[in-house]
Structure 1
């Protein structure tokens, strides 16, 4: 009888214990570091389940990894999530993928070669007006990019494609190398400001950081957020308006509710420890903005895993 009970206990434990493989990014990046912070704070509370932090290629790699069962959860930029949901709604949908928590914002940088004038543009007067403007409140109109080629690299490539998709720009997104002396096309880069590649481009004096109109952009795609970013240009710190996109920690959601318990427990752990993650001197600095989001109850327009109410009641 004792042997049967022991076997039953071992069998039950093997079912409830899960290893949650988390796709993040490169070891030196924010995604990987924040994943390590989550594991450090929550693995004890999740026991017998554990979070296993894994390097990856970023948002797209994490989405694909969740589809092919390489990852249970991963960090994905919100624009990439919505873009892929539009392109492949069967694989990327609110029933199969849900949010555990919102993370930090990264800035959209649209860099334009000074004096740039596309050969076949129908908006030549608008381009001339943009470079000749004296009013700092004037914003760049995304329609000026319609049908053009823009350069990018890395994870920013998909964000550039998403920008073209949501604003019907018919962009030709070209993968380029990091070369500030290539003035043949505008560049779209996404990263936390100040972002070193953007600093390097601006330092040449050959590029303009285009100010983007949040209100116009947000009306078309509500997940873009308002930002003001500061860069040193010509010896002066210049503030430029743009938009940002938030990173989300998303996980696979199963049809059987009991299988989602580990995800809800992890989401609850992050929620309960947000203030400590923000204040801990050894964690990634971006946790301060995550805490602000949680405090303001600022959520993405995507389905969330429910928090564990019993754990919250015992807080």
Structure 2
């Protein structure tokens, strides 16, 4: 009889302890609603929320009238993580590396889970304008001639040939362009723009020679470029060697770029990582451990579920990452 009472009492204690376990909600920086980062965090929440763990997008009030919107992207997520506005956020590894070069606070930033890879697309027009006859001033107001332009095939083939030229980039891709320039000593000039449309305008007006854009593949905006009007630059060995501590190498292919049969190019790949920071309280360490373990445990379930983002098919949450401070749950 005593054994039965003790057994029932233990079950009661276990039930009460589980029922009243404190739930920790993690505020996570993602990205614009509908984008890759937003979708990934949304789906992590769907599969990993539990009685003890909650997942929320970091939201800020914006617009008129003001309403709460998700705020994110690599640059903002890193800033919000350093400023303790979020508990975790998706950040490109190269942007984290750039910040680490100049900010000791990055020593407390930890990689929680590696996510998908993004690819550095360096896009140039296939045809460029070239002066075939220089302008002449003439004499005494007579005989002046304007320059004559022709069109030729773009001679650019690899990233190393961008030295001395102008490139355009927007968002987090500006930081990537800075890192490549800094560590490879390719002396191009970076012109920040607001978006793709402004970037294409700069290219069409001969104000820039290339677009640098870091996106997952296949990138919808690249697939939407006019056929045969643009091509991708490949890597050259010297640049690849100078950046192998930060970037991997991947191959991307597009039917609408390059020649009639499309183009495949070797480009830099960069990890998108769910980063967190160093926490000391058992509650936060436990919540982050649960999130990390849950993603690892449920990766195949997430991949196989209908409607989840295609990026999950390439995500391996147990693979090593190019970051030296990894969350271990201790």
Q: TM-score, normalised by structure 2?
A: 0.73
Residues in 2 aligned to 1:147 and 1:255: alpha-carbon distance in whole angstroms: 49
Give structure 2 stretches of 5+ with no counterpart. Answer: 1-15, 59-69, 132-152
Q: Summarize the alignment of residues 197-236 of structure 1 with structure 2, pairs less than 5 Å apart.
A: 197-201=221-225, 203=227, 205=229, 207-213=230-236, 216-232=239-255, 233=257, 234-236=259-261
- Counterparts of 2:247 and 2:300, CA distance in 1: 25
1:76 pairs with 2:91: yes
Match of 2:200 in 1: 179
Deviates more, 1:237-246 or 1:194-203: 194-203
How far is the alpha carbon of 1:132 from its aligned partner? Answer: 5.1
Pairing partner for 1:260 from 285, 289, 294: 285
Match runs of 1:111-190 below 5 Å = 111-114=123-126, 131=154, 140-142=158-160, 144-176=161-193, 177-179=198-200, 181-185=204-208, 186-190=210-214
Deviation at 1:166, TM superposition (A): 2.1
- Matched length: 272
1:49-97 CA distances to partner (integer Å, 9 max, x unpaired)? 3211232230010011112221110000111111111132x2222xx11
| 2:52 corresponds to which of 48, 54, 66 | 48
Q: CA RMSD in A?
A: 3.0
Distance in 1, matches of 2:235 and 2:191, equals 21
Partner of 1:60: 75
TM-score relative to the length of structure 1: 0.76
**Structure 1: tracts of 5 or more residues without a match:** 1-8, 120-129, 134-138, 309-315
CA drift of 1:301 comes to 3.0
User: Are 1:192 and 2:210 counterparts?
Assistant: no
1:104 aligns with 2:113: no
The structure whose residues are more often strand, as a share, is 2
Distance 1:171 1:19, change over 3 A: farther
Contact map agreement 2:286 2:329 (CA 8 A) in 1:
no
